Amino acid sequence: MSHPDAFTRLIQALCVLPNVGPKTAQRMAHALLQQNRQGAAELAHALQHALKQVNHCLDCNTFCEGERCNLCADPQRDPQRLMIVHMPADVAAMERAHCHDGHYFVLMGQINPIQNMDLNSIALEKLVQRLARSTISEIIIATAATAEGDATAYVLIELLKAQPYRISRLARGMPLGSEIEYVDAGTLAQAVYERKQLNHTP
């Protein structure tokens, strides 16, 4: 079965969506053109509008409309503490946890240690600029507890260690509410390895 060129092009275009392969894309294209041309038109406009309106915050690098995001513009946030995360969704998760009252920097990616440690996959330059014009004294590296998160943290530590920041990383160990019996071996080993001493006896 051969499609009109425009249809083929739409299928290919839809394949940029995460987890959408040619088969799914073909089904999507068919549904949009056959049953929901209004929805398709709105999608096109929303994409164009977003491309025009959504920039990266000049301070924290997250997506925002305008120059700075609400969080960076908030005078209530502690200007001395900066938490570095991979993605905007991580900022949202931290805000839900109410555990950080400082600012964020969003790397918009992670370092892949298996492929090539490509430093261009995170916004390092912008981070350096951000730090250069700040009053930050403490940096909290909040990367994922994965190989990519470890590689990203490693790069950040190498970049920052010569500078006068207090640098820390999220604790790793037993997740809240977990029973020993049901925690995976790697996490248990980590929890024992990083066990917290409770007294000062030798």
Residues within the interface to a copy of itself (CB under 8 A): 83, 85-87, 89-90, 92-94, 96-100, 140-146, 149, 157, 161, 164-199, 201-202
- Residue 173 interaction partner, one of Zn ion, a copy of itself, none, beta carbon < 5-8 Å per kind: a copy of itself
Residues 6+ apart with CB under 8 A from 166: 137, 138, 139
Whichever of 32 and 139 has its CB closer to Zn ion, that residue is: 139
- Residue 59 interaction partner, one of a copy of itself, Zn ion, none, beta carbon < 5-8 Å per kind: Zn ion
Nearest distance from C-beta of residue 187 to a copy of itself, angstroms: 4
Q: How many CB atoms lie within 10 A of CB 35?
A: 10
Please say whether the beta carbons of 110 and 143 come within 8 A.
Answer: yes
- Residue 28 interaction partner, one of a copy of itself, Zn ion, none, beta carbon < 5-8 Å per kind: none
Nearest distance from C-beta of residue 118 to Zn ion, angstroms: 25
Whichever of 33 and 160 has its CB closer to a copy of itself, that residue is: 160
- Residue 69 interaction partner, one of Zn ion, a copy of itself, none, beta carbon < 5-8 Å per kind: Zn ion
Helix, coil or strand: residue 82: strand
C-alpha 27/C-alpha 16 separation (Å) is 15
Nearest distance from C-beta of residue 33 to a copy of itself, angstroms: 33
Cα 132 from chain centroid (whole Å): 22
Please say whether the beta carbons of 142 and 127 come within 8 A.
Answer: no
> Which residues contribute to the site for Zn ion (CB under 5 A)?
57, 59-60, 69, 72
End-to-end CA, the chain: 77
C-alpha 167/C-alpha 157 separation (Å) is 8
Nearest distance from C-beta of residue 56 to Zn ion, angstroms: 8
Nearest distance from C-beta of residue 83 to a copy of itself, angstroms: 8
Nearest distance from C-beta of residue 76 to a copy of itself, angstroms: 18
Closest of 142, 168, 154, 150 to residue 90, by C-alpha: 142
Whichever of 30 and 81 has its CB closer to a copy of itself, that residue is: 81
Please say whether the beta carbons of 48 and 63 come within 8 A.
Answer: no
- Residue 130 interaction partner, one of a copy of itself, Zn ion, none, beta carbon < 5-8 Å per kind: none
